[in-house]
Structure 1
């Protein structure tokens, strides 16, 4: 992994993955996508890690795709350009889907601005805490390219009209508006951002990893189902969780015995 692109730090059961290209606005270049994918995969597999936080250095959380990388190089034909750009987009989509499908919660810790695919990265995370002066934008229309792929994740977080307002105007939206839209959970003073995100991550890390793993997967699966199918599926998952999981048994006994539960380490 290229440590110049991302910085890795563990705070107990919480793994912080920090985009470390602040001077260039933390673009989701092909190399950054590869480094993030690798760092996240390691976190998913690490039994000591229970929660992952995505953060960034500098004044920008992420400016999205590196537009310079999308330009044809000298002598490169149109077919080669299309193949190269398609590969970047596919790898980025895999990164975003991997976060949603991950067995562990992923929290975005957002400072500065998150634009285009950078905004998509925020939308892919399970939770998002932002600085009060953070801004969010899908500016593709400003450069003649609609933010179609960012809207996949953003459109699953926001109402359709709010998502389309972001995409059709290309405007910057404030942290207050991002809360109203449903893109972030809350915002705090910039100087409190790390502490607020760390406290949330540590709280979640203290819960049952077994129940979170199954519950997260079930949530994202049922949310796309018709209502009756969602209840049928969720009932089965909850039945298994309440009758077949060691942590569920431990949780019940701890409640009855009026003590703190001791979760299985996994």
Structure 2
């Protein structure tokens, strides 16, 4: 690595001010950024740590029935404290990486990085979540713009995520053993007015909604409803699996998620 300064603000306002410095970059859990720095793929002059901002931590229910999670809340905390309100999301958080990752990584960091195989983007998109920043609120459908790309502007920080709580939800993933990231994973959320299905790990465009499956499941919520459907798009092809294999896994994981709920 190389020399850089570290600032540890205790409020969102102070963090935003620190982010205004030249070549400043925020760091939360650091599960992606630290390896990137070690590989010299990034060279910020200032790291702005978000770990001391208490107003960005915690899990609670809002008056309008949404599950609100602070951007600096760790995966382990989500797994423990969201279980009573949103079991499907808590289960997802409990299976991210390993204990070390879950106790350091944060939901805000995951959503800001938008890794094409990350777990939280699938939950946010399938739930119709709202990503709150220091400047505005962004609907999940408008937030994810492609691989490692989001609607965040320079200097914006993910301060909170608001999840509508579905009637039922389940996250099914096929783990790539070396990285613990999902090779392909599907989050299915059943609401009173329909079903939302989000897929991660499969596409070069990052997380996406599988609309054909949503339509089929909204009419008939059963594993048989998605039989014969095939996900399309620019699927990832690498040494772990071909594009065709990933497209097949999308269907398999969706069926398993629905079967677990049905």
TM-score range, shorter chain: under 0.3
What is the TM-score normalised by the length of structure 2?
0.27
What is the TM-score normalised by the length of structure 1?
0.27
- In proportion to residue count, which structure has more strand? 2
- Of the two, which has the highest radius of gyration? 1
